[in-house]
Amino acid sequence: MVHLAPLGQDDSSILYGWLSDRTYRLDSGGFAFVSPRQHESWFENLQKGSDSALALAVRRTEDEKLVGLVQLVNINRTYRNAELRIRLAPALGGKGYGTQASRLLCEHAFKDLNLHRVYLYVRASNGRAIRCYEKVGFQQEGRLRQHCFVDGEYDDFTVMGLLASELTL
């Protein structure tokens, strides 16, 4: 079981550590070196949040360990939509945490923030992520051909979307 919570200062170094896992970086959309200073500035902005961006820690309920990061970005209060992003700790995929955390974030988006639609972009080759999102109720809505260049080749992005009425609980 996992729950969502505000990020704490101690989470920064843990998130930075995850970047050393190449597969994690590639699944997340590409590889780039990140210096500690760049990371700190990114984390500071993440924690600060804004009217159009929210980031939360995914914590394992039994021990409060940080197991992932979820974000709503590009929150549009007029359109009532937002983009979802999620990353779990490299060794902790495949345990159902991603499905639970995505569901909790979408529930927050619909029930607390009064959003109507949540969408996301995922590498078309990332079968685990796509399956995870489908379990939450997301539908594949379109394909952006050769949208990214990762690990030496172009890959498509799949666009997925979820309306408030479609969230599976």
Of 18, 71, 98, 115, the one binding ligand COA (CB under 6 A) is: 98
Alpha carbon dihedral 49, 130, 145, 162, in 10-degree steps, equals -60
CA angle in degrees (0–180, nearest 5) for 10-11-17 = 110
Does position 142 interact with ligand COA (CB under 6 A)? The reply is no
Q: Is 15 in the site for ligand COA (CB under 6 A)?
A: no
How far apart CA 36 and CA 46 sit, in angstroms, is: 15
Catalytic pick from 79, 121, 133, 154?
A: 133
Length of the chain: 169
- Tell whether residue 126 is a contact of ligand COA (CB under 6 A): yes
Strand order of the β-sheet with 117-123 is: 2-5, 54-60, 66-76, 81-88, 117-123, 153-163, 139-150
We find the least distance from the C-beta atom of residue 123 to ligand COA, in angstroms, to be 7
With beta carbons less than 8 A apart as the criterion, state whether 159 and 144 touch. yes
Tokens of 73: 């970005």
Binding part of the chain for ligand COA, among 2-10, 20-28, 51-59, 139-147 by CB under 6 A, reads: 20-28
**Residue 79 a catalytic site member:** no
Is residue 56 within 8 A of residue 112, CB to CB? The reply is no
Stretch that binds ligand COA, among 12-20, 53-61, 80-88, 142-150 (CB under 6 A): 80-88
Asked if 122 interacts with ligand COA (CB under 6 A), we say: yes
* 95 is an interface residue for ligand COA by CB under 6 A: yes
Verify binding: residue 66, ligand COA, rule CB under 6 A.
no
Write out the residues near ligand COA by the rule CB under 6 A.
24, 27-28, 86-88, 93-99, 122, 126-129, 131-132
Give the active site residues: 133
